[in-house]
Amino acid sequence: MDELPKLAQELREFIIDIVSTKEGHLGASLGVVELTIALHYVFDTPKDKLIWDVGHQAYGHKILTGRKEIFGTNRQLGGISGFPKRSESVYDDFGTGHSSTAISAILGMAMASRLNGDLAKQHIAVVGDASIASGMAFEGLNHLGVTDVNALIILNDNAIGIDPSVGALKKYLTNVKKGTAKDENIFECLNLNYSGPIDGHDIGALIKELEQLKQLGGPKLLHIITTKGRGLKKAEEDQVVYHAPGKFDKVTGERFKKVKGNEPPKYQDVFGHTLVELAERNDRIVGITPAMPTGSSLKFMMDKMPHRAFDVGIAEQHAVTLAAGMATQGLVPFCNIYSTFLQRAYDQVIHDVALQNIPVVFCLDRAGLVGQDGPTHHGVFDLAYLRCIPNLVVFAPMNEMELRNIMYTAQLGLSGPIAIRYPRGQGTTLDWKNDFEPIEIGTAKCLREGTKIAVLSIGHIGNEVKRAIATLDTPESVGHYDMRFAKPLDKKMLRTIFERYDHIITVEDGCKMGGFGSAVLEFANGERLSKPVTILGIPDKFVDHGTMEETHKMAGIDFDTLFSYLQSTLDQCG
């Protein structure tokens, strides 16, 4: 016991040492160092089951469970994942890259243990105060409270997820910490054995409480208070930035500034600034994000127009239907959600928006491969899962100006909903603040005409296609079309393309099955056109983590692969 505080210091220093040079998520793991040690001290993992919600805070857990020597490979190609992953270790009981799943999963495990007659096994889920406010977490708590399973929920309350926590539950937890909450405890009302709040950085107190709770049967909740970024002053002071700070000085905490020339902006910033620009002209525009104001750059509008921009917490389903409700009353909601997180609100997109043909503007950030966050965060399915929904327009800009113009077009007034998908990272253009021009829905652009092969690209990846074509031996043989709309397709242009070219190649930063290329094949089949069509996109597998360049190469949509395929196809064409 007396060595554990020293272990905590060493573990904290080790995490800081590695993340300062290799990058990754920092603040969340620093905040739960003492909790991590206490849990592994008290419980018999992996026999006892332990789930870390979201998994940003699981670095200490990974290091203590046999991965210290390879922790330097975290989030790198061929290395360990930045999130718990069942195939990586027997200590990772459940894969958690999205929030608020741990309570349901641990309840499922606890119920299985009871059905199997194993009443001694312990089941623990660590959930943050931002995650526990999500609808799915409440669904799990609601069920947990009417069971008699051996499950412990640890509420890690640090008042922040990635951005500061929001909502009425945050206010309630603040009052609990102050001792000013109303007499009734919300968790006790849900039939959970509540204890706390206690200092989550006091290892002795944590161990004592966990030992006591271990002897109690039934569902329990332990409320602990922690500081995100604990042990690194800069990370405690700026918890949003130090969630994932990039490279920094491990002693001072100062971030290393990348020497930047004049570079194109990130797509998220183009969205954020453009939304403010449009909202200043159109007072019906509102902005909505489920807990990602900084990541999505809705923060710009929240700072300038706080009464018209809303962070609704980790609640994607609510965000979508809230937007639908607003739109029925004449507002123009821009609902900004990462592509991978819109998956969590699929029924709301169908039932609450598209079925009623309500003009919500969905802005899907981080569409396509996202790099080191890996398969839990790659936004590669949206073209496929949205394209099949009636009434929904699906658009992908090739550059910043197209993003601005489609946002401008959307707020002019559409008859139904639209989804605008754009990637993580930078655009292509320095002078991107164009005068707005409306885009006719369902129209593509011919970028260059050719004689033999037509390449149909959608979205930002069209820039790589453009570069690859320019490098070919006979670039004049290849036509290039920026299709822009996955739905509705520009059928008039497609008919011209199929008449003119011998071979059609589609390129997308999305899954091949059911995506844009599939849409072109469906068109060709419906028109009884028999030209060969090749689809280049994400193959039917989950792409692992790595740099953006490495993930594109794994998927076969990187520059070298595009160039080689185009050149070899041209050679075959003669």
Q: Which of 67, 220, 266, 344 is catalytic?
A: 344
- The residue written with tokens 């597998």 in the block is 541
**313: phi > 0 → left, psi -120 to 50 → alpha, else beta; which?**
left
Q: Any known ligand binding at 415?
A: no
Cβ atoms of residues 358 and 331 within 8 Å: no
Q: Any known ligand binding at 98?
A: yes
User: How far apart, in Å, are the Cα atoms of 285 and each of 170, 329, 331, 394, 507?
Assistant: 27, 12, 6, 20, 33
Q: Any known ligand binding at 97?
A: yes
Cβ atoms of residues 131 and 54 within 8 Å: yes
Q: Which of 479, 395, 475 is nearest to 443 (CA)?
A: 395
The strand pairing partners of 199, in sequence order, are 225
Q: Any known ligand binding at 316?
A: yes
Q: Any known ligand binding at 477?
A: no
Q: Any known ligand binding at 93?
A: no
Q: Which of 23, 34, 209, 316 is catalytic?
A: 316
Alpha carbons 483 and 462: distance in angstroms, whole number: 9
Query: ∠ CA 452-450-430 to the nearest 5 degrees?
Result: 135
Three-class secondary structure of residue 574 per DSSP: coil
Q: For 85-91, which contacts have Cβ atoms below 8 Å and span 24 or more sequence positions?
A: 89/62, 89/65, 90/46, 91/45, 91/46, 91/50, 91/61, 91/65, 91/66
Question: Is the link from the previous residue into 5 a cis peptide, with omega within 30 of 0?
Answer: no
- CA dihedral defined by 10, 241, 375, 267, rounded to 10 degrees? -160
316 is catalytic: yes
Residue 23 has φ and ψ, to the nearest 5°, of: 70, 170
Q: Any known ligand binding at 139?
A: no
Q: Output the DSSP codes for 67-83.
A: ISTTGGGTTSTTS--SS
| Count of alpha carbons within 13 angstroms of residue 458, beta-carbon side | 36
Q: Any known ligand binding at 99?
A: yes
Query: ∠ CA 247-126-311 to the nearest 5 degrees?
Result: 65
Q: Which of 49, 67, 228, 366 is catalytic?
A: 228
Binding-site annotation, residues for thiamine diphosphate: 56, 97-99, 130-131, 158, 316
Catalytic residue ranges: 228, 316, 344
Binding-site annotation, residues for Mg(2+): 129, 158
Binding-site annotation, residues: 56, 97-99, 129-131, 158, 316
